[in-house]
Amino acid sequence: MKEHKITDYKKACLLLALSFWGLLMYFDFGAPILVKLFPLEWLVEYLDPIFYGSFFLLMVIVFRKALWKDIKDFVRNFDKYLDRVVIFGFITLVLMVASAIYLDSVGIGDSTNQQAIDEAIIQYGVLHIITIAVIGPVVEEIFYRGILFGFLKGRGKSIIRSIAAILLSSMIFSFSHTSIIDFSVTDMLANIPILMLGLTVTTLYWRTDNIFCPIIVHIVINTIGTLG
């Protein structure tokens, strides 16, 4: 049986998922401690580019056949996919902006994740912009949509299970952008725009079954947020 879907690589998906989440938790808990013990400020400065860059390379290598299949499919059906990308991209932007405006009106500002991103861009420049705008979205879409949603949805065509998979994977996606150490209800609410992003791009992936559709929307949204 030829492997044409990301979820066909079951062992690789499991190892990457454990590594991804394990490192995210480690950076939340372990990195601040290591910085106090050792002079690793330079490493912390470039933690995101190193983290996402490493997973980007791993995913491209491991899932190269599935990704190449989706690239060829996207090119063959460019007009159809472009229409869906534009429509879902617009919906995503509207939902994220509307939810951000509402949260601001009730006194809930940016999440700690967004504040950290803004600070990193100001302090460390171009490399972090590329990571946030391009590399990060590719890694997160392959992980949260290709792997997590793919396994939650399964091979069947149950609409109920698919909707449940969309909701659960999107909530996990949003929660992963909240610091465990600095966790608060306010910060979770501040991540509602990220939840909106998760819901729309996961639905887009469900309707197209092509990972490059949500990747493009995510890149556009992050680029607008980074340069805005």
Select which of 128, 141, 177, 218 is catalytic: 177
Give yes or no: 140 in active site: yes
CA gap 129, 226 in Å, rounded: 7
Select which of 128, 140, 141, 218 is catalytic: 140
CA gap 67, 210 in Å, rounded: 9
User: Please, how many CA atoms are within 13 Å of residue 76, restricted to the half-sphere of its CB?
Assistant: 7
Q: Which residue has the tokens 């079951």?
A: 10
Whole-number CA gyration radius for the chain: 18
Q: Rounded to a whole number, what is the distance in angstroms from the first to the last CA of the chain?
A: 46
Using CA atoms, how far residue 20 sits from 83, 93, 101, 215, 218, in Å, is 32, 27, 32, 18, 19
Show which residues are catalytic.
Answer: 140, 177
